[in-house]
Structure 1
Amino acid sequence: MKQAGTPPEGKWTGPSHAGVKAPEPILLADPARRFAATAQRLERLADGHPLEAWLRFMAALADAQHTVATTLAPAATLSPAQVMQAVEARLPPLAADGHRRDASWSDGLALLLELVDDGQLPPAAQQAMEQLRSSDAASLEKLADRFLRGGLSATDAAAAVYVAAALQVYFTCSAARLDAADLRLLEERELCPCCGSPSVAGVITATGVTPGTRYLYCSLCSTAWNHTRAVCITCGGTRRLSLQAIEGDPGVVKAETCGDCHTYAKLLYQLQDTQVDPYADDLASLGLDLLVAEAGFARHAPNPLLLVGDEDSVAG
């Protein structure tokens, strides 16, 4: 997963003149709501969907994440000095590829496996879970490192989907212990200011102080941060952007494609559906990914759960 570079010297504060309210630059997720909202949205989107069985499995996985986040709550606690040191060094304080993880993340993984294993999953999924249960701590840490640093092999895929889910809980709970006011937007604005990971999707708000604002949602720690609209989040281009959607679709999810770098990022519109969830709606809109891929565009960054697994290996 691509990590962060050098952020600007000062914090972004938005317009300062009277009468103009700037959007909050950084919003930290609430672990008590994040995974429950995704699970509920996936259940709703699964009805009648061509990938219904897989979406229901992903809903069950998100529900298990919610239980881990609200009972065990695996997380690291950074001191104010550690946060300040990271920010002053132009680094995200929970940098995914450099953060020394607390051992509680693997306790979260163990509980997650227990919650997801209903005895009815296909053989590949059962085998993957047994592999994880029989792995020692060092092996699990190496697998987590390979996931976070983009070094997964094909043989890792089935097991790593559960590792990815456990790491999402760990980093979300860890980020929630920070103060957004202590963080700084990065110079590479497409990357999370908290952990340096790429976004999974963007949401165009319909409510709040500044409706119409775009927030990118971190694929790992669930932090949201403001990003200017009509700007490619990959290359910063503005001239050759266009929106793509599936014909006949209600317009909740669109792909913003860039003709300069030939990448795309998904946008979700709250005005069309106030219940949109960047994590659930991204999974349920794989048809849009296929559409824009066939047109020659590459996704700006993969969904980590799709990076390491597919519906055949988990849902049957």
Structure 2
Amino acid sequence: MKQAEAPPNAKWSGPSHAGVKAPDPILLADPSRRFAATAKRLDDLAAGHPMEAWLRFMAGLARAQHAVATTLGPAGTLGADAVALATEARLPPLAADGHRRDASWRDGLMLLLDRIDVAGLPPPALDAMEALRRGDDATLDRLADNFLRGRVTTADAGAAVFVAAALQVYFTCSAARLNVDELRLLEERGLCPCCGSPPVAGVITASGTTPGTRYLYCSMCSTAWNHVRAVCITCGGTRHLSLQSIEGDSGLVKAETCADCHTYSKLFFQVHDMQSDPFADDLASLGLDLLVAEAGFARHAPNPLLLSGEDGDR
């Protein structure tokens, strides 16, 4: 693993004349494209990858998510007053751990299970899928609540990936119904302004009106929001940051590590691959996670599709 010098101060240092446009603070995802793009990228990355079989399974899961998002489109709807009340208080209007979910999320879960290609899946995965199909509304909502509150038990770990995938579709479709002009960034900038979830990764843009901008991508509702560069997204520290990467790689992915709080987050640099997708590339770069973890850094938040259960509550 190679280490770069600490990145420069993150404040915008380019031209400051009137012709320079500030980056959009919040970008809502398009449910008709979000999961299809991830599936395609995972298929592309899987070829010859050490984890090819697993990445192809995840690509199939993303295709099932796309089917749900574009046919059923499970979502909750918030009134303008509720959104205004939340944003004025600098709270996420779709707070993932407190939002009263519409029942359509369960319909989305059932459709998701029907659209997954089960060929080659191990028996525990098939058993988990069957248990979800048999589960009543209360059981499914309990599983969702426990997942969103970080309380996935060992007994529920097999079902967690499917519940997480269904919730991603639900929250992505729900966020897409919001008016981006009515939203505001949270005071805790490392959390999603729509649902309050942590990001899966950050992207450093290479195109648009403000190339070089960092956007964080929500692990749950897929919303992207601007976050100043060279600031730790966990503790807000700036003095002891460095960029870590795997020796000899393409430069697409780096881990921004913070020696103050001993956490890290991933950054994808579009300049090295304009086809990169933060959701897909995060899964395909687990080797970097292992190396950074061995160096003593903890990930700022887990990828929701990789949560493992523990005995008892987390």
TM-score for the superposition, normalised by structure 1? 0.91
**Counterpart position of 2:295:** 295
Contact kept in structure 1, 2:160 and 2:307, CA below 8 Å: no
What is the DSSP-based 3-state SS (H/G/I as helix, E as strand, rest coil) of the residue aligned with 1:268? strand
Distance in 1 of aligned mates of 2:54 and 2:243: 27
Distance in 1 of aligned mates of 2:214 and 2:54: 29
**Counterpart position of 2:65:** 65
Distance in 2 of aligned mates of 1:289 and 1:120: 27
Distance in 1 of aligned mates of 2:194 and 2:90: 11
Q: Which amino acid aligns with 1:272?
A: H
What is the DSSP-based 3-state SS (H/G/I as helix, E as strand, rest coil) of the residue aligned with 2:172? helix
CA distances 1:56-109 after superposition (whole Å, capped 9, x unpaired): 000000000000000000001111111111112321100001100000000000
Distance in 1 of aligned mates of 2:24 and 2:167: 26
- After superposition, residues 259-298 of structure 1 pair within 5 angstroms as 259-298=259-298
Unpaired stretches in structure 1, ≥5 consecutive residues: 1-14, 310-316
- After superposition, residues 30-179 of structure 1 pair within 5 angstroms as 30-179=30-179
Distance in 2 of aligned mates of 1:308 and 1:63: 22
Distance in 2 of aligned mates of 1:93 and 1:16: 33
**How much has 1:20 moved relative to structure 2?**
2.5
Q: Which amino acid aligns with 2:97?
A: D
State percent identity of aligned pairs: 77
Distance in 1 of aligned mates of 2:108 and 2:196: 22
Contact kept in structure 1, 2:172 and 2:220, CA below 8 Å: yes
Q: Which amino acid aligns with 2:296?
A: G
Distance in 2 of aligned mates of 1:200 and 1:288: 14
Distance in 2 of aligned mates of 1:308 and 1:217: 21
Q: Which moved more, 1:185-194 or 1:113-122?
A: 113-122
Alignment: residue pair count: 295
Unpaired stretches in structure 2, ≥5 consecutive residues: 1-14, 310-314
Q: Which amino acid aligns with 2:129?
A: M
**How much has 1:118 moved relative to structure 2?**
2.7
**How much has 1:308 moved relative to structure 2?**
3.9
TM-score for the superposition, normalised by structure 2? 0.92
CA distances 1:17-66 after superposition (whole Å, capped 9, x unpaired): 62321000000000000000000000000001110000000000000000
**Counterpart position of 2:3:** none
Structure 1 outlier segments of 4+, above 2 Å: 117-120
Q: Which amino acid aligns with 1:138?
A: A
Q: Which amino acid aligns with 1:267?
A: L
**Counterpart position of 1:195:** 195
Distance in 2 of aligned mates of 1:145 and 1:16: 46
**Counterpart position of 2:305:** 305
Q: Which amino acid aligns with 1:126?
A: L
Q: Aligned pair 1:237/2:272, yes or no?
A: no
